[in-house]
Structure 1
Amino acid sequence: MMSLVLAMVWTRRGQAVTLALLAMFAVAAAVASPAYLTATDRAIAAGQIETATPGERSLVIAGAQDARIQTGGPGFADVGAALVELPGFSYVYSSSYPVIGLEKSVAYPSRVVFRQDVCAHVRIVSGRCLVGEDDVIVGARTAERAGVRAGDPVTLMNAVMEDDPVDPYWKKDGAPERLVVAGVYEVDDPADVYWGTHGYFTSLAGLGPAEPVFTDANTFETIEHGLTDLSIDGLAGPGALNPDRLDELRTGLLALTRKATEIGPNLQVDTAIPALLDRIESGRAAAHLLVPVLAVPLVLLACFSIFLAVGYGTQGRQSELAIVALRGSRWWNRWWLATGESLVAILAGAVAGCLAGQLLVNAVAAARFPGVGIEEGWASLRYAPFAALAAVGAAVLAQRRQLLSPVATLLRRNPVAANGPRALAVEAVVILLAVVAAVQLAVSGGSLSGVGLLAPAFVMLALALLAARALLPLVTRYASRALAAGRLAPALAGFQLSRRPGAQRLFALLVATVAVAGYAACAIDVAARGRVVQAELGVGAARVLEVSPVHRSRLLHVVRQVDPEGEFAMATVRLRNSTGLEPLGLAADTTRLAAVATWPDDAPPVAAVVRALRPEAPPAPVIKGSELAVRATATGVVKGKEVRLNVALSSLGGRGDTLVQLGDLGEGRHDYVQKVPACAEGCRINGLQLMVNGNVTGVTSSITVSSLGATLWRMPRYGTVSSAPDGLRITLDAPNGLPEGAWLHPLDTPYPLPIAYAGSSSPGAVLTGLDGKPMSVTEVEGLPAVPRVGRNATLVDLEYADRFAIDGAPALVPEVWLNDRAPADIAERLTAEGLTIRADSRADQVRRQLDEQGPALSLWFHLIAGGLAVLLGAFALVLAAAVDRSRRVEDLSALRVQGLRRAATSRATLWTYPALVGIAAVTGMATAVVGWAATGWALPLAGVNPADLPLPAWPRVLVLIGTTVLVLLLLATVALATGRDLRRRITPR
């Protein structure tokens, strides 16, 4: 019996090979999914590790110890014992304490730092590095300020801060130590991972970059000192950040943290490695959702192809099965002869599919993830038996009619139609499953778990079945009309498509294959464009430099000094959010917005937004030198309720902001003069503040202030202000006192301040300003999103918002945005002007990081799935044509004998399947779009922790058209080839 089955396979070896290939695809899809996920898990880890920031590849173990009493914190020996828990790291030991004696100012201390191997990470510009006892090296900017050079002696003393409420300073707290400046150094890359997160080179207001005084361990101990900061910086090496050992790394970090807690409460472990590990896990979780989304429909499609192929093949040999049944063969012989030929081909294809699936993934992984490697093992084969059983089940199900039908039915030339109650019931079940899966996906908020994971597969399959039932009757109607009109070729082609029982299923299969390819194209295109939006609009510009705390006016001044023409740089800061309920706010130098910022799609023209945010405004009141002189006349001064006058100033030379206290106003006219060094190049007056001492209530007074020019002023609370012949007249009325002072603001900005906003609801008429005070605003433009900040945010002009503010505090999140035309040394230029770069974000770097995250890497499987789906359709088409060939050759040859013209025969043979493919391609892409609308919104395509940005939700029309044309060309080529083969066999020719 087996030899007979093998003979049948050999006789119809073309069909057997095609069926084996379909089975191979089914099993290969089941093998490729877990194999690809395994490779992707490794690739995600390797990619995230490669693109991680220095802080995500290092850790800092920090503590403090009082060297005078040898208590208060752990020493290096105690800390080092904890490192046994975390192998694979290289460590740098360091310690520091504050000193004075080098700088002329005592507003800030210098830091004496011992750091292991420091000479290998600095560049000596004069003198030499550390060699002997009492050697120190100082930074180039520090040496210039202090007036020292290599070889000069210097005396340093330990320092502590004197917390004077008016003028805090650092004072001596140890014996002076005479040392030698062995050399002057510079650091090429202050952000290098070697320097850790200690802020050694943080910019200091009025001084510029702070540079440590480096020395060796012996000299460090020679200087008398007290409280000392101890730290160990650990840099993770390849052994620690091995993609296969990340669980061990997480466990080691937890053990290290527990050990540090046991050693002492002052010992802290600071690291961003857990954030890196969390990002890797989140990326893997997204990949494990995205890959099955198309792996499941691919396996179902392969089983459907097998069902269709076996059904076609069995119909072609019904006469053989009828003879077997007529001879009265026992049921198991009949069953074996009916199914054996298909089962042999399927089993051979299943074995080949196990190998093909793994080899396919290996090839893709080698090309896409070079150097990552493939994890060895049998885990990828765990779903192969299920796929093989599904293929066998599909084959048996396709032959159920031939196994159970009587001989008379098997001998019929026209097969029983496939539109009976059972077929309708099966299709109804599929449609019901699609509805249930889609509803579950919507109700769960897009959770791709349980039935929701199957939603894309069942939705596309259900739509394909509905399309087949809706369109093929139209083909029958068209063929009937063509026959009535005497157009024989279209009529013959149409009847071939509509009257063959398997044609409807073949059409549904082709629609489903195109739908899977189209769905994959939708996901790939939407995800790719989303990554562009995240990288460009999410960063805000081609490059964004976050700088250390600095005054807003200084930030504006420095950026405008570095880029006077406004061609490549823009200063930005964040608005303060006192309530936590306001939208995020960005204040930007809008004069450069068009040149620098990445502007969102569908937003108003940037030039129009700039005009709305920055209308013409009166000039600001200024003082032209370092002497602030105010003449004030006060009347009604009550003893114990004296009013104090303060003036908020911003340096026009970029020296920052300050609040100058002029003192209490006496009765009558007086001149109040104060030296303000920051105003050597002039200052802008931001506001006047009237204060009283303590909790005094019932404050009333009349004050006239002159020497402030002709600027108009406003007074929101506690009184009124008006112009007077001799200056500015202020009527103060504060029955409940002045807890925060009464402020007067010059009208040198539009009022209320114009803002652009993004969000579904209006931000209101009042926002928190740069100084944390309420700021009256008016909405002038709506945006889909504010660059870098998101879809629920506001945008204001930085200069106007700064004039609106009256504090002297540093800016919140000061940044310098740069476009791609910024010079390569822009960071050095900004540093030379006194800014210190804390972070450097680049759109292209963010794009690379996103390209290495789970969603981006998993979508390569969608590309594989789309290609395999189209190949499945092509093989099914070939098999259907091969089975139909003998019957059609017989029919058309008879018609040729009866006088059918050769031209009509050629058109009937050549365009039957191409017409089917053309209709299926258009319908399949429409199915993909509908399926995407129903389920695509739930796919985690945006990466890990995406920003709140207007990410694209729909693929581009050109992508859909291009995919349709590409699939159509492939399937039409196969269809034309089968038609030519059929035409060649028809006689007479």
Structure 2
Amino acid sequence: MIALVLAMVWARRGQTLVVALLALFGVAAAVAAPAYLRAADRAVAAGQVGTATPNELSVAVRAYQKDARQDTPGAEPSGPNLERSGSALSGLPRFDYVYSMEFPAMGIEPTIAYASRFAYRQDVCDHLEMVSGRCLIGSSDIVLPEAVGQRLEIKAGDTIELSYAIRIIPRGGPAFYAENGRAQRLLVAGLYRVPDPGNVYWGSRGFFNAGSDLPAGANLPLFVTSATMHSTDRGAVDTGLDAFPQPGALAVDNLPAVREGLSEVQAGVTAFQGGVELHSQLPDLLARIDSGRDAGHRIVPVLAVALVLLACLTIFLAVGYGTEGRRPELAVVALRGARWGQRWWLATGENVVAILIGAILGCLAGQLLVNAFAAYRFPGVGADPGLESLRWAPVAAGAAVLTALLAERRQIATPVAELLRRAPAVPHSARAVAAELVVVALAAVAVVQLSSTPRGVGTFAAALVLLAGSLVAARLLLPLVTVLARRALSRGRLGVALAGLQLSRRPGAVRLFALLTAAVAVIGYAAAAVDVAAGGRSDQAVLGTGAPRVLQLGPTGRQNLLAAVRAVDPQGTFAMAAVKLPSDPGAPAVVAVDTTRLDMVAAWPSGGPTAPQVVKLLHPAAAPPVDVDGAQVEFDISAQFPLGKSVAVTAVLSPRDGGNDALAELGVLRNGRHTYAQNVDACVKGCTLNSLRIAGGQGTLDVSGVLTVHSINDVPSDVLNDPAPWRASEGGQIGAGAKGGLEIEVTSLNGLPDGMFVHPATAPYPLPVAVSGVTALPTVDNLDARATRVDVRTSLPVIPGAGSPAVLTDLDYADRLSTDGGATSGSMVWLNDQAPDDVVAALTTHGVTVTADLRASDVQKRLDEQGPAIALWFYVIVAALATALAAGALVLAASVDRNRRVEDLSALRSQGLTRSALRQATLWTYPVLVLAAVVAGLGVATLDWWLTGWALPLAGLDPPALPLASWPRLLTMLATALATTLLLAGAAVLAGRRTLRRIS
């Protein structure tokens, strides 16, 4: 019997090969999913580590040792000593440790305003490039930064003297440094530069932080040996122990040990009982890796399950088609009285052998496919193949065998008379309909389950919806095709009618259409997921950043920021000033920008007002500012307040040509008319009056009275005489009809510890804003952290650089309404792609300090290395395998039908069927089926995406505050439909041409 089965396999080796290939695809899908997850885990970890900053990779332990000179001779040194007991903190596996010490020193800088950084760092010479001289050897060697040597004219071979220094902060004066130890003579062994300041070796100590306003190189360390450090007469010392990973230390398999090591380090720090601090962003990096892996493990199985079901459906179709082609053979076996077991073996043995061969090859093919793809997409990471990837292979193989048995069950149980019919009856059994209803019900249950949890049964929701939708579409096909075929026959279109009747009279045609629809639905769902995720990453990178490039600045005044940006880019073509305003947790983020440049620089969302429209709304015309010129600022003020009630006035002035705001403190007002003068150097080139602050003295908050500002330098008198262009805050009001100056009525300062404020009305009030994701917004915290009333002018889908909910407003107007005159820490400069290469240097020369340079392209790169993006590459594999399954099913169906169709069409040809009708009947049958399946499949994919697509963590498990796209682009879906149609229709046409050539 076995020999007979093998002979059958050889006789129909083409059909056996197709069944084996289909089984191969199904088992390969089951193997590829866990294998790809393994490769994806490794790629996620490697990608996060590769894009991490040194602070995220390193673990820094800091200890501030007290002045050892104050200890009793012979006693144990007080305070923690990392050099002596740091081994208690070395619990991280495969991490290198670097010990360092640092203190301020004096002796070579020509000022006492700052000190040099006298530092020791273990193995420092391995990470320095000597531009002259040599590196450290002896106990009196020192190496200086190249910039320091050039600026101070110190060269290799010179001797210098340095001594320990302490910082002194006198009351009412600037801080300075003073010597506090014996000077030590040192030999300048060489001058160095650092080839890679971003190397993780340097840790988080900030040896080479950019943006210092000190002279060239003054913020860089002077390195010495450990012996030099210990022989120096010194006081308190900042010590540190930095750990950074060796290559492969943060590979995915090592992460549990790293977490355990972090816990040991934390326990060691706690054991010191104070004086030691642990600084590390490594836990955040590990959390991102876990989040990415978790997202991948939720994304990959969704279509992996769908692909396995599709493979089973394909095998069911293939076996069913093959068995239908063998109906006369099975009838002969039954007529000869073969026993039931023999009939089963003869009917199923051929397909079981093919499936087993395909399953064995599929185990190998699935892993090789992942290996090849990982080598292409994740070079240097590897797929790390293992037996664990085969854990679902037996399940897939068993499902394939069971599917084959189910497909053959009906033919084996069919009576002999029915088997001998040339045109078998098309089944319309209630059993088939009931089975399809069960699948639909399971899909509905899975969708409901998905709404509560994305795991468990919810994982199968997308696959079940795809299968159910395809079965329903196929169930509707047969009546429609029959009607169209009869209509074509009545109109004399024989070719079209024969093609339609071929589908309507073949029982396997319905299953073939279901399979093609399911395959197209899988491809469409994969395309939708990839497109939506790609659009989301692009939005995160560009809209989330705010512009193609964002420079983050150190604290600076708002008008200084505006002046610097406008000086660097006077035409407003590539740079825009921006500030992120402080806001309470949970409150909408507020971004203030120079809206006059908004349409040229900022990334702008679609689906809302255009940038020029928003500019007109947020930057209406306003009164000109009040100019105060000259370094000597004089105020002529009349005051009338009750005796014993003191009131002080402070003017906030903003330099027009750049520079931080200045405060002119006029002091306590005296009753009567007096002149109050203050020297403000920042106003030499002219200032604008930002606000007047009127505050009560100690115990005088409950005060009322009137003051009149008669003149301010050369401010025109009509500006002060007209109360209209002035605005007062709570606690007072602008007097009506004042004569000879600006009359300010102070009503009460109770509950106003900062006093009341008077502004020139040079900005619209309430402050115009645009919002996103905010329904009601009466006020926002302005730049001075005071609540400012706002006027919501428009709504946007998202605020660039802030997301949603968020608020956008004009920076200049927001500053004019603020009262503090202080520097802002959230300052930024947004740049577009036209920004010149020297923009950072140009901004630095105009008084701002760049602390970070963030590019949207870098953000995009980091997002592309995260779990969701990596996991979605598996969907590309799924789409390719689904296309191969569908094409294989088409080829198999055409092969099985070929002999019967050749006989039928040859007979019709001999009876006068035209060549044109013959070509239509032969070549149009399956391409038309493909076209219908593409339309139905994309409809099923769209329905499935609506029901389940929202559950895919395409933006990670903690999505950003951005309204990311939830639907794929129409162009993407049309391109997918066109490509799928061309591939499948091409396979169908090739199979049809082979049939056509055999018809005489």
Counterpart of 2:219, as a letter, is E
Secondary structure at the aligned position of 1:399 is classed as: helix
Match of 1:484 in 2: 490
Query: How many Å separate the matches in 2 of 1:944 and 1:118?
Result: 40
Counterpart of 1:453, as a letter, is T
Match of 1:615 in 2: 620
Query: How many Å separate the matches in 1 of 2:563 and 2:39?
Result: 51
CA spacing shift, 1:770–1:490, aligned 2, 3 Å: same
Cα contact 1:55–1:271 (8 A) shared by 2: yes
Secondary structure at the aligned position of 2:507 is classed as: coil
Query: How many Å separate the matches in 1 of 2:794 and 2:114?
Result: 45
Q: In the TM superposition, what is the alpha-carbon distance from 1:721 to its structure 2 partner? A: 1.8
CA spacing shift, 1:681–1:99, aligned 2, 3 Å: farther
CA spacing shift, 1:108–1:753, aligned 2, 3 Å: farther
Gaps of 5+ in 1: none
Q: In the TM superposition, what is the alpha-carbon distance from 1:329 to its structure 2 partner? A: 2.2
The structure 1 residue matched to 2:631, chosen from 626, 629, 644, is: 626
CA spacing shift, 1:950–1:35, aligned 2, 3 Å: same
The structure 1 residue matched to 2:585, chosen from 580, 587, 608, is: 580
TM-score for both structures, normalised by structure 2: 0.91
Q: Could you tell which deviates more after superposition, 209-218 or 86-95?
A: 209-218
Secondary structure at the aligned position of 1:707 is classed as: strand
Cα contact 2:763–2:813 (8 A) shared by 1: yes
Counterpart of 1:311, as a letter, is G
Query: How many Å separate the matches in 2 of 1:793 and 1:142?
Result: 49
Query: How many Å separate the matches in 2 of 1:883 and 1:847?
Result: 50
Alignment of 1:396-475 (within 5 A): 396-441=405-450, 443-444=451-452, 447-475=453-481
Query: How many Å separate the matches in 2 of 1:209 and 1:644?
Result: 44
Matched, 1:703 2:689: no
Q: In the TM superposition, what is the alpha-carbon distance from 1:115 to its structure 2 partner? A: 4.3
CA spacing shift, 1:724–1:106, aligned 2, 3 Å: farther
Q: Could you tell which deviates more after superposition, 579-588 or 147-156?
A: 147-156
Q: In the TM superposition, what is the alpha-carbon distance from 1:821 to its structure 2 partner? A: 2.2
Query: How many Å separate the matches in 2 of 1:207 and 1:733?
Result: 51
Secondary structure at the aligned position of 1:734 is classed as: coil
Matched, 1:649 2:653: yes
CA spacing shift, 1:108–1:908, aligned 2, 3 Å: same
Counterpart of 1:689, as a letter, is R
CA spacing shift, 1:565–1:98, aligned 2, 3 Å: farther
Cα contact 1:475–1:498 (8 A) shared by 2: yes
Alignment of 1:240-259 (within 5 A): 240-259=249-268
The structure 2 residue matched to 1:355, chosen from 358, 364, 377, is: 364
Cα contact 2:628–2:688 (8 A) shared by 1: yes
- CA shift digits 1:481-523 (9 cap, x unpaired): 2222332222211111112111111111111111111111111
Q: In the TM superposition, what is the alpha-carbon distance from 1:884 to its structure 2 partner? A: 1.8
Match of 1:765 in 2: 778
- CA shift digits 1:592-639 (9 cap, x unpaired): 322222112223221222222222222222332332222222123412
Match of 2:62 in 1: 62
Q: In the TM superposition, what is the alpha-carbon distance from 1:403 to its structure 2 partner? A: 2.5
Counterpart of 2:6, as a letter, is L
Q: In the TM superposition, what is the alpha-carbon distance from 1:230 to its structure 2 partner? A: 1.4
Cα contact 1:853–1:944 (8 A) shared by 2: no
Cα contact 1:582–1:767 (8 A) shared by 2: no
Alignment of 1:534-683 (within 5 A): 534-577=540-583, 579-639=584-644, 641-683=645-687
CA spacing shift, 1:287–1:239, aligned 2, 3 Å: closer
Gaps of 5+ in 2: 72-76
Counterpart of 2:19, as a letter, is L
Alignment of 1:106-185 (within 5 A): 111-116=117-122, 133=140, 137=144, 158-162=165-169, 164=171, 167=173, 169-170=175-176, 172=178, 174-175=180-181, 177=183
Query: How many Å separate the matches in 1 of 2:592 and 2:363?
Result: 59
Secondary structure at the aligned position of 1:847 is classed as: helix
- CA shift digits 1:399-452 (9 cap, x unpaired): 1112223333333443243220110111001111111112222x32xx431121
- CA shift digits 1:645-701 (9 cap, x unpaired): 112223334331243322211122222222233334333322111122223343122
CA spacing shift, 1:2–1:421, aligned 2, 3 Å: same
Q: In the TM superposition, what is the alpha-carbon distance from 1:734 to its structure 2 partner? A: 1.2
The structure 1 residue matched to 2:247, chosen from 224, 235, 238, is: 238
Cα contact 1:856–1:943 (8 A) shared by 2: no
Cα contact 1:156–1:179 (8 A) shared by 2: no
The structure 2 residue matched to 1:751, chosen from 765, 786, 796, is: 765
Match of 1:40 in 2: 40
Query: How many Å separate the matches in 1 of 2:806 and 2:997?
Result: 69
The structure 1 residue matched to 2:274, chosen from 265, 278, 289, is: 265
Matched, 1:325 2:325: no
- CA shift digits 1:152-189 (9 cap, x unpaired): 9787663345474x556457583574878969988787
Cα contact 1:574–1:586 (8 A) shared by 2: yes
Match of 1:26 in 2: 26
Matched, 1:876 2:889: yes
Matched, 1:94 2:100: yes
The share of aligned pairs that are identical, in percent, is 49
The structure 2 residue matched to 1:905, chosen from 914, 918, 927, is: 918
Cα contact 2:553–2:825 (8 A) shared by 1: no
Secondary structure at the aligned position of 1:538 is classed as: coil
Counterpart of 1:242, as a letter, is A
Query: How many Å separate the matches in 2 of 1:537 and 1:963?
Result: 27
CA spacing shift, 1:206–1:664, aligned 2, 3 Å: farther
CA spacing shift, 1:535–1:697, aligned 2, 3 Å: closer
Query: How many Å separate the matches in 2 of 1:552 and 1:191?
Result: 31
Query: How many Å separate the matches in 2 of 1:828 and 1:195?
Result: 25
Match of 1:197 in 2: 204
Match of 2:11 in 1: 11
CA spacing shift, 1:290–1:227, aligned 2, 3 Å: same
CA spacing shift, 1:305–1:587, aligned 2, 3 Å: same
Cα contact 2:771–2:794 (8 A) shared by 1: yes
Cα contact 1:637–1:666 (8 A) shared by 2: no
CA spacing shift, 1:87–1:791, aligned 2, 3 Å: same
- CA shift digits 1:948-986 (9 cap, x unpaired): 223222222222122112111122122222222222333
Q: Could you tell which deviates more after superposition, 534-543 or 182-191?
A: 182-191
CA spacing shift, 1:657–1:158, aligned 2, 3 Å: same
CA spacing shift, 1:116–1:589, aligned 2, 3 Å: farther
Counterpart of 1:619, as a letter, is P
Query: How many Å separate the matches in 2 of 1:959 and 1:299?
Result: 25
Q: In the TM superposition, what is the alpha-carbon distance from 1:906 to its structure 2 partner? A: 2.7
Cα contact 1:303–1:391 (8 A) shared by 2: yes
Alignment of 1:276-315 (within 5 A): 276-315=285-324
TM-score for both structures, normalised by structure 1: 0.92
Cα contact 2:343–2:412 (8 A) shared by 1: yes
Counterpart of 2:62, as a letter, is A
Match of 2:387 in 1: 378
CA spacing shift, 1:157–1:499, aligned 2, 3 Å: same
CA spacing shift, 1:86–1:307, aligned 2, 3 Å: same
Q: In the TM superposition, what is the alpha-carbon distance from 1:717 to its structure 2 partner? A: 1.4
Secondary structure at the aligned position of 2:435 is classed as: helix
CA spacing shift, 1:959–1:625, aligned 2, 3 Å: same
- CA shift digits 1:317-344 (9 cap, x unpaired): 2222222223332221121111111111
The structure 2 residue matched to 1:344, chosen from 350, 353, 358, is: 353
Counterpart of 2:205, as a letter, is H
Match of 2:222 in 1: 214
Q: In the TM superposition, what is the alpha-carbon distance from 1:531 to its structure 2 partner? A: 1.5
Cα contact 1:569–1:592 (8 A) shared by 2: yes
Cα contact 2:798–2:806 (8 A) shared by 1: yes
Query: How many Å separate the matches in 2 of 1:409 and 1:192?
Result: 78
Cα contact 1:100–1:159 (8 A) shared by 2: no
